[in-house]
Amino acid sequence: MTSRGIWGRYLLPLFVAKLYLFLYVPLIILIVFSFNDNRLGFDWVGFTTRWYVSAWKNQEMWRSLHTSLVVACSSVVLCLSMSTLFVFYGTRSFVRRAMALFYGNLAIPEIVLAVGLMSLFYFFSIPLSISTLIAAHTVLGLGYVVPIVHDRYVELDNRFVEASMDLGATQWQTFRRVVLPLLFPALLTSALLVFIISFDDFVLSFFCSGGSTVTLPMFIFAKIRSGSSPLVSALSTMLLLLSSIVVLLFLALQSRKWGQLR
């Protein structure tokens, strides 16, 4: 690494800095203008926090947030339990062959899945509701979680499981006392991933929830459709803050857990 030339020394870092600017400038402007005391335009009138107050008091927002949280948490529980059971109890050759089924989720555009699910529910005359929404989000999550959990499970030293069985543990005890703790980091990552995917998802929610169930992204979408409003800026800023805290928390938790295992 002696001579890097002008490209390596100056242009590359400059390019990287510019890309970070590209990523963050829109978000920063959004945050700044959420404090602007101007209903319609972009002229800076004065500092205010009233958009935050009105977002906080918006009943519709709280209802949609509640729906989103219920759906996200249910999908996390369903995804994690199903994929762990699948990986642990399925015989190896069966699991390996069945894995191909789960890679499909990433290869299909989401809108195809969305209209497909909608047609399926329509075909069997299942009314669209929060349960159909949970079913849809769970299948989206499975595509990510099964490969993650499977990879981790295959990496595990099989001797742990064998030793546990030799020492007289039942399969369930082995699962609870040996496999589950070893899988924990992978499960934590998957849980966060599924939660975010579900909480973030708009397309599946839009097609599979029927008229009465409104998730938070759907609420924001409707608000944006009817023109920009400072309320959305305030709400977006709060969401930004929330997700940064969650990610930081997650990183801290993860590094501590890994530290312990080492």
Partner 1 sequence: MKRLANNFLQEIPFLCSMPAIAWQIFFMVAPVGIIFYFSLMRPGFIVTLDHYRGLLHTSYFLIIFRSLLLATLMAFTAFFLAYPVAYFIAMRAKKYKTVLLFFLTLPFWVNFLVQIYAWYFLLERNGLINKLLLTIGIIQEPLMLSSSLFAIFLVMVYCYLPFMIMPLYNMLEKIDPRLLEASSDLGATPWQTFYRVTFPLSLPGVKTGLLLVMIPAFGEFVIPSLLGGGKNMLVGTLISYFFLVARNNASGAAFTCLSALALLLTVILFYAVSRLWVVSKIVERK
The interface with partner 1 within residues 136-165 (CB under 8 A) comprises 136, 138-139, 142-143, 146
198's CB contacts (< 8 A; 6+ apart) are 68, 71, 72, 75, 76, 137, 140, 141
Q: Which of 57, 59, 109, 167 binds partner 1 (CB under 8 A)?
A: 109
- Binding flag, residue 249, partner 1 (CB under 8 A): no
Query: CA–CA separation, 46 vs 50, rounded Å?
Result: 11
* C-beta closer to partner 1: residue 146 or 148: 146
∠ CA 192-54-212 to the nearest 5 degrees? 60
- Binding flag, residue 19, partner 1 (CB under 8 A): yes
Task: Provide the minimum distance between the beta carbon of 146 and partner 1 in the complex, in angstroms, as a whole number.
Answer: 7
207's CB contacts (< 8 A; 6+ apart) are 114, 115, 117, 118
- Binding flag, residue 91, partner 1 (CB under 8 A): yes
Considering only residues 211 to 240 of the shown chain, the ones binding partner 1 according to CB under 8 A are: 216-217, 220-221, 224-225, 228, 232-233, 236, 239-240
* C-beta closer to partner 1: residue 53 or 85: 85
Number of residues lying near partner 1 (CB under 8 A) = 87
- Binding flag, residue 44, partner 1 (CB under 8 A): no
Query: CA–CA separation, 93 vs 191, rounded Å?
Result: 26
- Binding flag, residue 24, partner 1 (CB under 8 A): yes
Considering only residues 112 to 131 of the shown chain, the ones binding partner 1 according to CB under 8 A are: 112-113, 115-120, 122-123
* C-beta closer to partner 1: residue 18 or 50: 18
Q: Which of 13, 37, 92, 257 binds partner 1 (CB under 8 A)?
A: 13
**Binding window for partner 1 (CB under 8 A); candidates: 11-19, 45-53, 160-168, 181-189:** 11-19
